[in-house]
Amino acid sequence: MKQICVVALVCAGLTACATTLAGGGVGGGVANSAFDYAPSRAYRTADTRFGYRLAGQNWQGRMVFESVGGEARVDFWLDGVESVEMRAELLIVMPYLEGGARHYEGVTDAGRTVTVELQAGPCQNDDGEIDPYFATVRMGPSEINGCAAETAPVDRWSNYLAAYLPAIDACLAEMSGEADHVSLAYTLSGGATGIRLVDHDGGSWECATREDGHRVNSLRPIDAADVILGEGDPIFVRSAMPDAAMSCYVFESVREADGHLIGALGYDACDGDFEDSIG
């Protein structure tokens, strides 16, 4: 059942539902919030499809997710590598997020095998900006590398995880080891950075920071009245890769360019009505 939910989740580009599992920290289960997270699908519109844009030195690509007969398919275009644009239909490699990265494979229109790997992490693109994924495309013996970013109606907070890390680390330190995971990072009124955290008992907290996120201004408990749309989509566990078998989450590793583990993004794959949100 979990695998079926994950396929629907990927096809729709949806990764948030109500958290359902109480647990004991990053080493095992992930603690549930005191209130259910508001699914980010409320942001989404029917006329924009989920996917990724990819780019590297002298090449660019695009991935667009579709549902064909209830199965997730990915239309893939690649330009700049050869004299003509290359197109392929990719399938999601299962088990989903095995090894912590996203893998896709298929065959080009010309009959060549192609694989795409997306590894979450701060990837500096050719424009000097930071994209949230490292991208690797392989066609036969050839391999090209670049960066990737989501294309979707929702610009998720995790797309800017690298910029939020100083504030996340300051707030985790303020919690003195009591924080289980981060559920949201965002800009507060006045320009300060806000970090939402869930403790090991499932309680939710808001941490406000200053000095570009390096100092904590305040830390307060919050309840369901304070929930923000998109909270928990996804969650983030710092400096650890939790055991997915112990929770309803599917975990994606976040790594530096050298492979050093930054943490893990967790997507709830057990609850929620995905079928109504595919579009």
How confident is the model over 122-172, as pLDDT tens digits? Answer: 999 999 999 999 999 999 889 999 999 999 988 999 999 999 999 999 999
> What is the C-alpha separation between 121 and 176, in angstroms, rounded?
26
pLDDT-based confidence at residue 252 (cuts at 50, 70, 90): very high
Q: Cβ(160)–Cβ(185) under 8 Å?
A: yes
Is 233 in contact with 220 (CB distance < 8 Å)? Answer: no
Question: Is 89:107 a contact under the CB 8 Å cutoff?
Answer: yes
Query: Do the Cβ atoms of 171 and 219 come closer than 8 Å?
Result: yes
User: The whole model's pTM is what?
Assistant: 0.85
